[in-house]
Structure 1
Amino acid sequence: MTVTLADRYVAATIRTLPPALQAEVRDELDTSIADAIGARTDAGEALEAAERAVLTELGDPDVLAAGYADRPLHLIGPKYYLTWWRLLKLLWAIVPACAAVGVAIGGMVADDPVGTIIGEVVVVIIGTIVHVAFWTTLVFVILERTGADTGIRWSVDSLPEPHETGARRSDLIWSLIMLGVFAAALLWDRFIGFVLVADGDVDVSEGLGSQTSAIPILDPALWPWWLGATLVVIGVEAAIAVAVFVRGRWTPVLAMANTVAAIVFATGALYLLVTQQLLNPVFVDFIIGWGDVPDEVGRILVIVLGIVIVGIPIWDIIDSWLKVRRSRVGLSSR
């Protein structure tokens, strides 16, 4: 028995269908193909040419089978795509950064060379991005194939809030209050001290000049030059906040000035921390008991403080440039 192209096409179509559908689809295809071929041959077309034309019009048998079986031919369809993409962006913004910080801290605690730490951080970031993308996508592929419901429904409550541009009066007041509190804390720590101690509990004569009932956290030797420079940076930040309010938005020039001020602050503070000039030795001995703590613990404390010193300015820089971008979008949409 000769196997025709139509027979091969029907067999290729039903081979991936559930057994319950195969007989029904076979009969339907045999009939429709035969009718289409017959119409073409009645019009004077050769049988072989008519058969090829009909099968070509039907297209890929696997695509046709997917239509019969209601089986998606995409990795993630419109039902799940936006949920997948929003979740993936959120995970990419959080997981690689956390993994990188963890690896960096571990490397610094282990006293690894800087080059080794950087290499490990880069590898971890790339690996984390790939793994997050793969496993998140795999979950949604399974959801797509099983037809599961994520339970996520759009509503007007899901509309995004307007992005803050940092130019409102409340933003100015908040910035000035925070900068003022920081400046006041520095001066209070230098001239009064934050840590109260009973007279005779600690020898504070070195570096302080006399017995006192309070210990500064920062090294008193930082006054006047280092603390004075910090107060100048605080003044610059206050001036930038006022300028943003007056202009009504963040501009690239203001963001660049903010970036320079943040880098100057972070660089100076980090230098003092690394050279052991930042913290008051009396405070360290009294509160932390530095001499009784293993070197690893002391190193961890320095690393954590260093991350805070670097992390806050980095966030401030990123936030200012994001507000520049939002301000531009707001202007272009008017």
Structure 2
Amino acid sequence: MTATLSERYISATIRSLKPDTQDDVRAELAASIADAVEARVDQGEAPAEAERAVLTGLGDPDILAAGYAERPLQLIGPKYYLTWWRLLKLLLWIVPICVVGGMTLGLLLSGEGVGETIGQVVPVVLQVIVHLCFWTTLVFVVFERTGADTGVRWDVDQLPEIQEDGAGRSELIASLVFLGIAAVAVVWDRIRGFFPTGGDPIAILNPQLWPWWIGALFALIVVEAVFAIALFRRRRWTTTLAVLNTVLALAFAAWVLIPLLRGELVNPDFLAFVTEAGGEKFAEGQAESAENGGLFGILGVLLGFGVAVGVIWDIVDGWRKARRAGRAELV
């Protein structure tokens, strides 16, 4: 005997329910369907058409069964979504950056080239991101299915402070003072030096950088001062200012890294003086680290790495502030 559409629908609905609830749901659903069909027939519809219309209105039997079982049909529901999203964003900000920094620094110190370093770092970072997303999501899926309590509660003390993304007078003064000190330090290094040598002063920066390369540095300092003043007068970050900040940061990185990679940033006479002053122990340290470029090579890598990290952070921070200021303006 062929089952009716109603019987097939009821069977599809209760098959995923617990055995001790199936009979009650079957009886309830059968009565509900029968009443709805009868009401349509009384209005003049054919019984077959009325039955099809009622079942269509009830929708997918699996969705109906989930309602009876109080079973979620989403991967992560509203109860856990914000906690999951905030934790995942925090992890994606911290873990991949630490992996990139640690691997890059380790590979450069071990003597790997820039190309080889990038080739090894990128696949590892992509794997880290995939694993972070998968395992964090899996944990919250388990929470969703088991109804576990994450222990996260919101209260008014968690409200963030209002952040000012523009540049106030104190920030402008600090920027100009810092730039001024940097310019004076370059000139002082050239004329007087920073270390007592017992004789003529020895500059830390390579004298060969004068006048053109140092002139470019002074030009960057002037442009940075103009940028700080423009930001102060604008009172808020904009896309244009973020672009200019990016260009200036990259220009400064190029000014440091190009001569550093060529071995032309630091005065050779200063390195010779440090080596001689360091004595036997310094020479032993140089020998032990010879495979990685010696102590000066390691210090050069650390300097370049620090400059790169600072520049990247400056660029990201500028774009973050510009984006936040843009959203605030829309509001």
TM-score by length of structure 2 reads 0.79
**Are 1:281 and 2:281 matched, yes or no?**
no
SS, match of residue 34 in structure 1: helix
1:267 aligns with 2:254: yes
Task: Provide Cα deviations, 1:40-86, integer angstroms capped at 9, x if missing partner.
Answer: 44555444333333322222111111001111111112222222223
Map 1:57-206 to 2 at 5 A.
57-186=57-186
Q: Is 1:293 matched up with 2:255?
A: no
**Mean CA deviation greater in 55-64 or 221-230:** 221-230
Alignment identity in percent? 51
2:26 aligned with 1:26, yes or no? yes
Q: What is the DSSP-based 3-state SS (H/G/I as helix, E as strand, rest coil) of the residue aligned with 2:227? A: helix
- Tell me the residue number matched to 1:200: none
- How far residue 138 of structure 1 moved from its aligned partner, in angstroms, is 1.5
- The secondary structure found in structure 2 opposite 1:16 is coil
Matched residue, 2:315:
317
1:230 and 2:211 equivalent? no
1:141 Cα shift? 1.5
How much does 1:134 deviate? Answer: 1.8
- Amino acid paired to 1:276: G
Instruction: Report the 3-state secondary structure (helix = DSSP H, G, I; strand = E; otherwise coil) of the residue aligned with 1:154.
Output: coil
The question of 1:221 aligning with 2:207 is answered yes
Structure 1 residues 188 and 292, CA gap change in structure 2 (3 angstroms): farther
Give the CA RMSD over aligned residues.
3.3
User: Residue 104 of structure 2 contacts residue 121 of structure 2 at CA under 8 Å; is this kept in 1?
Assistant: yes
Uncovered stretches (5+) of structure 1, i.e. residues with no partner: 197-203
* Contact 2:190 2:207 (C-alpha < 8 Å) held by counterparts: no
Aligned to 2:236: 249
Amino acid at match of 2:92: W
How far is 1:170 from its partner?
A: 1.9
Provide, for residues 153-202 of structure 1, a one-character-per-residue CA deviation record: whole Å limited to 9, x for no partner.
33333333333323211211232343344445545655565567xxxxxx
SS at match of 1:277: coil
Distance 2:237 2:2 in 1: 78
The 8 Å contact of residues 168 and 248 in structure 1, kept in 2 or not, is answered as: yes
For the pair 1:306 / 2:304, whether they are aligned, the reply is yes
**Gap change, CA 1:163 and 1:230, over 3 Å in 2:** same
Structure 1 stretch 142-151 or stretch 244-253: which is displaced more?
244-253
What is the Cα deviation at residue 9 of structure 1? 1.9
Change in Cα spacing, 1:69 to 1:320, as seen in structure 2 (3 Å) is same
Aligned to 1:201: none
Structure 1 residues 330 and 63: CA distance shift in structure 2, 3 A: closer
| AA at the equivalent of 1:270 | L
Q: Deviations over 1:123-143 (max 9, x none)?
A: 334333322222222122122
Q: 1:274 Cα shift?
A: 1.6
Amino acid aligned to 2:26: R
Answering whether residue 51 of structure 2 is matched by residue 51 of structure 1, we say yes
Partner Cα separation in structure 1 for residue 30 and residue 326 of structure 2: 62
Counterpart of 2:221, as a letter, is I
1:321 Cα deviation after fit: 3.6
Aligned length: 319
AA paired with 2:261?
Answer: V
Q: Residues 52 and 257 (structure 1 numbering): CA distance in 2 closer, same or farther, change over 3 Å?
A: closer
Q: Matches of 2:21 and 2:114 in 1, distance apart?
A: 64
Q: CA deviation at 1:314?
A: 2.7
1:202-233, CA deviations, whole angstroms, 9 ceiling, x for partnerless residues? xx58xxxx278xx86x3453675355543443
Rounded to whole Å, the distance in 2 between the matches of 1:159 and 1:293 is 53
Q: Which moved more, 1:116-125 or 1:21-30?
A: 116-125
Provide the rounded CA distance (Å) in 2 between the counterparts of 1:2 and 1:265.
Answer: 81
Report the CA distance shift for 1:222/1:243 in structure 2 as closer, same or farther (over 3 A).
farther
Deviations 1:239-258 (A, max 9, x none): 32123223333455554444
Structure 1's 51 and 144: CA in aligned 2 closer, same or farther, altered over 3 A? same
TM score, norm. by length of structure 1: 0.79
User: What's the counterpart of residue 199 of structure 1?
Assistant: none
2: CA distance, partners of 1:6 / 1:56: 11
